[in-house]
Structure 1
Amino acid sequence: MGKPTGFLEYPRETAPEREPQARLEDWHEFRLPLAPDKLRQQGARCMDCGTPFCHSGILLSGMASGCPLHNLIPEWNDLVYRDLWRQALDRLHRTNDFPEFTGRVCPAPCEASCVLAIGDPAVAIKNIEYAITERGWENGWIVPLPPRVRTGKNVAVIGSGPAGLAAALQLNRAGHSVTVYERDDRPGGLLMYGIPNMKLEKEGVLLRRIELLEAEGIRFMLKTEVGKDVAAERLYREYDAIVVAIGAGKARDLVVRGRELPGIHFALEYLTAATRTLLDGVPETITARGKDVVVIGGGDTGTDCVATALRQGCRSVVQLEILPHPPQQRAPENPWPEWPKVYAADYGQKEAAERFSADPRRYGRTAIAFLPDAGGTLASVVCAEVGWQEKKPGVLVPGPIPGSETTLPAQLVLLALGFVGPEQELLDTLGVARTASGTISGENDRFATSIPAVFAAGDCRRGQSLVVWAISEGRRAAQECDAFLMGKPETL
């Protein structure tokens, strides 16, 4: 620990953001770097707490508390304070294969469980992580690390999202020959098409990592859907092991009157179309331009839809949140180190407030019908206030409150209601056993499935979760797969 009194001397400072009005004119990242001297001060705020919770990586009340990757946060905070950036990068890479991703898109459960956050603002861990990895890229410290010796074993990874990429990287560095199968035209999964460019740039950030993985020897088979373009039987025949990392792409729907009207889309469909337009220069297939937009659902995906609609030039945007307005400070039933359920405005809400002078969110409301105009086109959304009833002890169920209905104009509705599990067609083809919710089941502590030599990682195994959980699962599944291939003792 570099400065025992740092947390008493320096306030929390986070990376500045580009002005909302200016960044709405383009699709570039909205965050700016924090100055090196400020970063060193933030590193100095790490308080030698004795029992750090920031890298605990556990679930409390169903939410992440601490880093699921178990990042060695106090160590690289101290190294940054002492201006030892290369050593900080080495420490960061010991646990995190893709800190340039998590430093941008992770909600930072590490900061929520920072011991300093019990009574003061947390250490700016996410900003320090971002700065370490970007300095590594700028100085040429991040280079291909192909294995010195190949094992002769071949592994197929199905899916190139964060879990698949992490599994591929670890298995390749263990010496196995890895082929990643991706049905889209570009690798990255949700990193490519589910997270918009202003939060994670594709050319300068995501694809530079993909190019590095290719330089290390990983092979990407794009536009190749297992079960259609290549038979599962072929994979079983040609590979010594398979890692399934297809995510949880089955979106939760909202089945209410008028759902079939044109102009109602799942959030991922919309975000994918926007990214394709940006990268390929093709015309917008789903656009908010000149329209009243209603986003149904909160969370990161809802925010991304708001921000994308603003950049496309929407006429208005409203975001419906089923939960009530959160408090400004932790409630007694939401103690540290749980994830704080407090009010906060993310980048999309800040941008909407700048353009329309109000937070776009309407709390405690849900859509109960979609209405057409005379021509049969989507024209409005009927929404109602939400009440919560206890159907059985400890289980509250939401429902519309009669008489609370209001109508919002809408020519575009985006459903950002999360995901209910992986798409089932591939899992049927592979023949793996599943849980009642449709996720892959098996020896979950070992990431094995019901099929020998087939492993699973990420959202297809644990259900919808964070990018940081997906990377963690990919690493651990690779560890178990490697132990299987090499006949090693069990590793967990």
Structure 2
Amino acid sequence: MGKPTGFIEFVREIPTDRPPLERIKNWDEFHEHLPEERLKNQGARCMDCGTPFCHTGTVISNMASGCPINNLIPEWNDLVYRGLWREALERLHKTNNFPEFTGRVCPAPCEGSCVLGINNPPVTIKNIEQTIVDHGWQNGWIQPEPPEKRTGKKVAVIGSGPAGLCAAAQLNKAGHWVTVLERADRPGGLLTYGIPNMKLEKEQVVMRRVKLLEEEGIKFVCNTEVGKDLPAESLLKDFDAVVLCTGSTRPRDLPIEGRDLKGIHFAMDFLTANTQAVMDPSLNDQVISAREQDVVVIGGGDTGTDCVGTSIRHNCKSLVQLEIMPKPPEERAASNPWPEWPKVYRLDYGQEEAAAVFGDDPRGYLTMTTKFEGDENGHVKALHTVEVNWQKDEQGRFTPVHVTGSEKVIPAQLVLLAMGFLGPEQPLLDSLKLDLDPRGNVKAEHENYTTSIPGVFAAGDCRRGQSLVVWAFNEGRGAARECDRYLMGHTDLP
């Protein structure tokens, strides 16, 4: 703790983003860094409290509280305050394989459980984390570190999203030969195609790390869907172990009248095509475009926000985002105490941009879509909605009840469904004949990750369901540890 009175002397400060009306003109990242001296002051705000909840990594009320990968936050905050950037990077890399990803896209449950945050704005942990790793890349401190010895064991990792990359990186460190199989044309999974470029830059951030992993000895095989292009059974013969990190990619649908109309798309189809076109402009004619369209995004969360930000960059005609849940309060409710994740109203980047263009937050709360209306060409032209109240049914479960007289018709030529995901796609799991849990996820206990087939492990969203990138990191690292133990009889992986 470099400055015991830092949390009293300095106020929370985060860098100013590029103005919304400026940044929507391109797909570039818009977050800036604070000058070094001011960032040191932010590191000095860390209290080095006796029980640092920021890195506990627990689950309270079904939400992350503290860092799921147990980042050593007070340690690298102090090192930043003292100007010891390389040492801070070393501490950061002890728990986090890819801090340049979490520093950009993690919602920062660490800040939600910061002890200072009980009665003051919390420490700017996320911004400090990103700055540390960006310093590392800029100064050439992050270099390939292939293992000194190889075990001769071969491991297949299915899926190259955040869980798959972490599992591959850790298993490679243990000396195993790792092959990552990815059905898309580029590695990265959700990091590449599920998150827009302005939020996580692809070539300069994601592919830079993938290239380093290749230089460390990891083999990436793209355009290969296991169970389709490659028989799943062959993996069990050709590899000593398999780690499934396929994600939770079955989108939740909205099966109401008019769902088969043209112009209604799942959010990930919209986001993926647009990111592919950003990386390869020759694919622009394949993009689902929001240009000059009345756009309605159904659903919230990060995916809904990314649809909003992408549609704004297309120069959409109008934009509405519908959420079935109530608007969060401005401040923590009594039923949402620290160190739970604070469920409060936030204006995320997409809604901030929509407000700059159209004058207000585009979100409408407590609203349900009842049917889609089409034109004479079979294309959607409007949504019919109704407001709802949440009430308990006879079994004591909260259900949405229509508010009489609240019906509306909203014009829309493009509808994006961003209502979450139901679990992993089943063909691969069925071909392996894996046991599934009641939700359709791969059955494997947390901290164990062993499936019903010896030598086959599961991690990330395909095991736990849709979750945060940082939980995928936790699981990928954990599955690698247990896979290494299975292969070698013991493990030194954390």
Structure-1-length-normalised TM-score: 0.98
Bigger mean CA deviation after superposition, 153-162 or 272-281: 272-281
| 1:59-93: CA deviation from partner (whole Å, max 9, x where unpaired) | 11111100000000000000000000000000000
Q: Are the equivalent residues in 1 in contact too, given 2:355–2:361 (CA < 8 A)? A: yes
Q: What secondary structure, in the 3-state scheme, does the structure 2 residue paired with 1:251 have?
A: coil
Match of 2:195? Answer: 195
Does 2:172 correspond to 1:172?
yes
Shift of 1:26: 0.2
Residues 425-449 of structure 1: per-residue CA shift (max 9 Å, x gap): 1101112110111000034431000
- Give 1:375 shift: 2.9
Q: Corresponding residue for 1:346?
A: 348
| Structure-2 residue corresponding to 1:19 | 19
Please state whether the residue corresponding to 2:287 is helix, strand or coil.
coil
Spell out the pairing of 1:219-298 with structure 2 (5 A cutoff).
219-281=219-281, 282=283, 283-298=285-300
What is the alpha-carbon distance in structure 2 between the residues aligned to residue 447 and residue 119 of structure 1? 39
Conserved? CA contact 1:40–1:80, under 8 Å = yes
What secondary structure sits across from 1:367 in the alignment?
A: strand
2:286, 2:18 → 1: CA distance? 26
Q: Does 1:302 align with 2:273?
A: no
Looking at structure 2, the residues matched to 2 and 447 of structure 1 have their Cα atoms a distance apart, in angstroms, of 40
Residues 353-410 of structure 1 deviation map (CA, whole Å, 9 limit, x = unaligned): 0000111001111211110123322100111112112125653122432321101110
Deviations 1:418-468 (A, max 9, x none): 101000111011121101110000344310000000000000000000000
Distance 1:393 1:40, change over 3 A: farther
**Structure 1 residues 429 and 345, CA gap change in structure 2 (3 angstroms):** same
> How far has the Cα of 1:490 moved from its partner?
11
CA contact (8 A) 2:67 2:109 kept: yes
1:323 matched residue in structure 2: 325
Query: Is 1:37 aligned with 2:21?
Result: no
**CA distance in structure 2 between the partners assigned to 1:394 and 1:42 by the alignment:** 46
In the other structure, the counterpart of 1:70 is: 70
> SS of 2:171's equivalent?
helix
SS at match of 1:166: helix
SS of the residue corresponding to residue 287 of structure 1 reads coil
Alignment of 1:445 onto 2:447: yes
CA RMSD of aligned residues (A): 1.2
Partner of 2:390: 388
2:159, 2:268 → 1: CA distance? 16
The match for 1:113 is 113
The answer to whether residue 405 in structure 2 is matched with residue 398 in structure 1 is no
The corresponding residue for 1:99 is: 99
CA distance in 1, matches of 2:65, 2:34: 25
Distance in 2 between the 1:209 and 1:113 partners? 29
Residue range with higher mean Cα deviation, 396-405 or 153-162: 396-405
User: How many matched pairs?
Assistant: 492
Instruction: Structure 1 unaligned segments of length 5 or more: list them.
Output: none
Q: Which residue of 2 aligns with 1:157?
A: 157
Higher mean alpha-carbon deviation, 282-291 vs 103-112, is at: 282-291
Partner of 2:148: 148
TM score, norm. by length of structure 2: 0.98
Aligned counterpart in structure 2 of residue 436 of structure 1, from 423, 435, 438: 438
* Residue matched to 1:123: 123
Letter in 2 for 1:433: D
Q: Aligned in 2, Cα 1:399/1:192: closer, same or farther, shift over 3 Å?
A: farther
Measure, in 1, the Cα distance between the counterparts of 2:242 and 2:476: 12
2:481–2:491 Cα contact (<8 Å) kept: no
8 Å contact 2:484–2:491 — kept in the other structure?
A: no
User: Aligned partners of 2:125, 2:457: CA distance in 1, in Å?
Assistant: 32
CA contact (8 A) 2:381 2:411 kept: yes
Distance (Å, rounded) in 1 between the aligned partners of 2:144 and 2:231: 32
C-alpha distance in structure 1 between counterparts of 2:490 and 2:343, whole Å: 43
Preserved CA contact (<8 Å) 1:480 1:490: no
Cα shift at 1:239: 0.3
Give secondary structure in 2 for the equivalent of 1:421.
coil
The DSSP-based 3-state class of the residue aligned with 2:393 is strand
For 1:113 and 1:81, how far apart are their aligned partners in 2? 21
* Structure 1 residue 178, shift from structure 2 partner: 0.2
Change (3 A) 1:434 1:34: same
SS at match of 1:305: helix
Aligned match of 2:185:
185
